[in-house]
């Protein structure tokens, strides 16, 4: 897996929890702009609850942007600096 290296969040890698690092790295895979929950769970090996809490924290920080897959009609997530900022969110559902 190749990672996009010139990302702002990587400048402060050590400031993130291990769970946050796993999610941010998974979303930095150069092959994919967006990832589903199932794929993030598989790649990060985080349990569903821990993954959801981590994603919510990163959304609140403005690092991750949620969306809905047009093809599958399911939630997808991308790094805000790669997919665009979108609207600021206070909570994720």
Summarize pLDDT for 8-40 with one digit per residue, the tens: 999 999 999 999 999 999 999 999 999 999 999
- Please indicate whether residue 51 or residue 87 has the higher confidence score (pLDDT): 51
Domains of the chain: 8-83 (1.10.10.10)
- What pTM does this model have? 0.85
Q: Give the separation between CA 46 and CA 40, rounded to whole angstroms.
A: 8
pLDDT value of position 27: 96
Distance between CA atoms of residues 19 and 87, nearest Å: 24
Q: How many C-beta atoms surround the C-beta of residue 71 within 10 A? A: 6
Question: What digits encode the pLDDT tens for the residues 56-89?
Answer: 999 999 999 999 988 888 999 999 999 986 544 4
Using pLDDT thresholds of 50, 70 and 90, give the confidence band for residue 6.
Answer: confident
């Amino acid at each position: 897996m190749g990672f996009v290296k010139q990302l702002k969040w990587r400048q402060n890698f050590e400031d993130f929890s291990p769970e946050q690092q796993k999610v941010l790295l998974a979303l930095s895979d150069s092959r994919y702009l967006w990832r589903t929950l199932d794929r993030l769970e598989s790649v990060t090996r985080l349990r569903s609850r821990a993954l959801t809490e981590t994603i919510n924290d990163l959304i609140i920080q403005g690092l991750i942007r949620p969306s809905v897959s047009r093809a599958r009609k399911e939630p997808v997530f991308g790094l805000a600096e790669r997919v665009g900022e979108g609207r600021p969110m206070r909570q994720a559902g």
